[in-house]
Structure 1
Amino acid sequence: MSIPVDWSDLPPELLEMIAKKLNIHKDYVRFRAVCLAWRNAAPKIPRHLPCQLPWLMLPRRTNQDPQSNHRSFISLSDDKIHLLNLPEDSDSHRRCGSSHGWLVILEETPSISILNPLTQSKHQLPPLSSFPNVTKFDPCEIGREYTLKTSDGDVYTCNSKEMRDSFIKKVIFSSSPSNEDLDYYAVAILNQTGDLAYCKKGDQCWKFIDDANSFCEDVIFHKGYFSAVSKYGTIAVCDVNGSSPVVSFIETPRQIGGDMQYLVPWKDELLLVTRYMEVEFNMDQNKLDILYKTTEFRVYKLVSNGPKWESMSELDGWALFVGENCSISFRAYEYPGCKGNCIYFTDDYSEWNYNGANGSHDLGIYDLENGCVEPLPCYPEKFYNGRRWPPPIWITPRVGGSTSVDYEKNV
């Protein structure tokens, strides 16, 4: 005769040990939902969890109610769509990066907001008007609200939409803004000038990393420093911890070819990912339309003896995620729904607001072993008529820091 077991009577220390063995957010949430004893044994904020497989944040659907604040996020691990209420991401806003689970959001004001979609936490970065090359902001000057100066001393103006849409390419963080006890740095790549700018948590203005101009293809935080890459594969290593930035360079033989470059941390090493595209320019009813499609990726590993970039034909079972997000890599077999030796990419080529333009978003999965581009199996293309702006973006779901929002209610 079997003796019935009351699972709620398990010792709290054993439950805590089991909870710490869980590495997937969804499993942790379900663990806490079993009963009150299990919930009390596992902290509400699971600080032990590793970085989670990215979700794909989708644009508004073509037929979506304009008054709706809901945004759709696709989870690759279970092919499910999660709806989150994000009034901060309206049609008048633009996303210009995701890093450590936070979105960077611009609008038609100088404000630069950062938002954690899961916890609804929100902070502010220094405004657009505080960049060193912005000499004046006057909201009364309709159509030319911003006055800017080039490095050569030339002066020009931009309107609020132009600044929102094309001034900043991408923003990344050194660590998660969720941790209120720690400082973090943000680095922004500027689109038109190729400058890198940075700020520290609590700063009121942005500062240029003067020696790193033109290293504007991509930037990541790697081994305690920001590393930025040029079009030709040279790396600028930027230390922004002191009173002024210190920049050193990793001079590699010039990389020729490709349309875009990404830096990706992989294991304990650094990868250069080169993206090749087919681009067409069409005039339709006196309107310029750019059609583009990714055809290939090539991957190189940084070899310190040289230094040089060494070509790679496979990723040892890892997967890379690139786009407007902070580039990231995962050991695929540890994450359901993730395919190894593949590059998951999103549409981050165009710098202009192409809402409603012809064609579809340039996103998918590139298999490095067979050289083929596959569609994302979970992407609901039927909901979109033409390209929608802003484009889809990868974001790593992350909770942490001080918040009153119950994570279980958001997934």
Structure 2
Amino acid sequence: MDEERERYVKVRSNCDYYVSKVTISADPILNAKDCIVLVMYKGFCRLAFIRISKDKSWTYTDERYCQPVQDVIYSGDKFYAVSTRGELLSFDITPESYSDVKLAARRIRPVEMSYQKFYIVHSNEKDLLMDQRYMSFELEPQSRRTTKVLVFRFDFDKSKWIKKLGDVSLFMGDNSSESVLASSNSGCLPNCIYFTHDYDSVFSYQGVPHGDFGVYNHEYQSFIPIDTTHVATLVRNTGRGRPIWVIPTLKL
């Protein structure tokens, strides 16, 4: 490990206040009394929350009962998180702690040797999806490549995962993951995942090209060739910032 990367990893791992993601339970302006702000922080992401109309300080997870997580979302009346092992956790916010953390679903399959990253996203008001992203790395030259993406829909009635996507386009990334109905959005391909180059614990530090982005067809388990020239230019222009997905609401 070179000195620059070692310094980067050390700072990120030891910083208690490094926030990687924030999610809320309600609109903080229209419904402040029900708004809970939940953050993922620290190197191996932990959780902390604050109820903006009730609390004056943050409440932190008890690390004995809540394992490190990679993504979190609010759905229905609960928060859901996916752990670094691919397990789905559900919990309510209580005045004291996350004492009611529950295992909503076990990991789908044994973790493979390749590097994996998990994301969770709404596909509509009722459905919850988990994306399982596999990546490989090359040391000379330093590069990262997504090799496949698996998507599973959570069956709340049976508390199990179902491998299904359908007429949905997923947009996957660190800061936010989004989904849209492909048939209602011109230009979006059904059964496809659009992904960006986001953080990883191996190569995400200054000086490494951010070139791991593309489109993956979930039905045929293959990548769709795209012209990345313009996209690569945009990614380089963002510097060290992570790209995000935005769903426009303005209708022309």
The TM tier, using the shorter chain, reads 0.7 to 0.9
**Residue identity in the other structure for 1:207:** T
**Residue identity in the other structure for 1:370:** Y
CA 1:307–1:353: 2 relative to 1, 3 Å? closer
What SS class does the counterpart of residue 362 from structure 1 fall into?
A: coil
**After superposition, what is the alpha-carbon deviation per residue over 1:117-166, rounded to whole angstroms, capped at 9, x for unaligned?**
xxxxxxxxxxxxxxxxxxxxxxxxxxxxxxxxxxxxxxxxx879x749x8
**Residue identity in the other structure for 2:189:** K
1:309 equivalent in alignment to 2:144: no
**Residue identity in the other structure for 1:266:** S
CA 1:378–1:370: 2 relative to 1, 3 Å? farther
Output aligned runs, 1:211-360, within 5 Å.
213-240=66-93, 242=95, 244-245=97-98, 246-252=100-106, 254-256=108-110, 257=112, 259-267=116-124, 268-282=126-140, 290-304=142-156, 307-312=159-164, 315-350=165-200, 354-357=205-208, 359-360=209-210
Q: Larger radius of gyration, structure 1 or 2?
A: 1
> How far 1:380 sits from its partner (Å)?
3.3
CA distance in 2, matches of 1:250, 1:261: 15
Pick the aligned partner of 1:169 from 20, 32, 35: 20
Q: Which runs of 5+ in 1 are unaligned?
A: 1-157, 283-288, 399-406
| Contact 1:356/1:385, CA 8 A, preserved across alignment | no
Aligned residues: 235
> How far 1:370 sits from its partner (Å)?
2.6
What SS class does the counterpart of residue 388 from structure 1 fall into?
A: coil
| Contact 1:355/1:387, CA 8 A, preserved across alignment | no
| Contact 2:174/2:199, CA 8 A, preserved across alignment | no
TM-score (norm 2): 0.75
Greater relative contact order, per chain length (Cα 8 Å cut-off, separation 6+):
1
| Contact 2:80/2:88, CA 8 A, preserved across alignment | yes
**Residue identity in the other structure for 1:223:** G
**After superposition, what is the alpha-carbon deviation per residue over 1:2-55, rounded to whole angstroms, capped at 9, x for unaligned?**
xxxxxxxxxxxxxxxxxxxxxxxxxxxxxxxxxxxxxxxxxxxxxxxxxxxxxx
| Contact 2:134/2:147, CA 8 A, preserved across alignment | yes
CA 1:377–1:333: 2 relative to 1, 3 Å? farther
**Residue identity in the other structure for 2:75:** H
CA distance in 2, matches of 1:363, 1:224: 33
Instruction: Name the residue aligned to 1:31.
Output: none
Q: CA RMSD in A?
A: 3.6
| Contact 2:70/2:117, CA 8 A, preserved across alignment | yes
Output aligned runs, 1:70-109, within 5 Å.
none
1:206 equivalent in alignment to 2:58: yes
**After superposition, what is the alpha-carbon deviation per residue over 1:61-81, rounded to whole angstroms, capped at 9, x for unaligned?**
xxxxxxxxxxxxxxxxxxxxx
Instruction: Name the residue aligned to 1:45.
Output: none
Q: Which runs of 5+ in 2 are unaligned?
A: 1-9
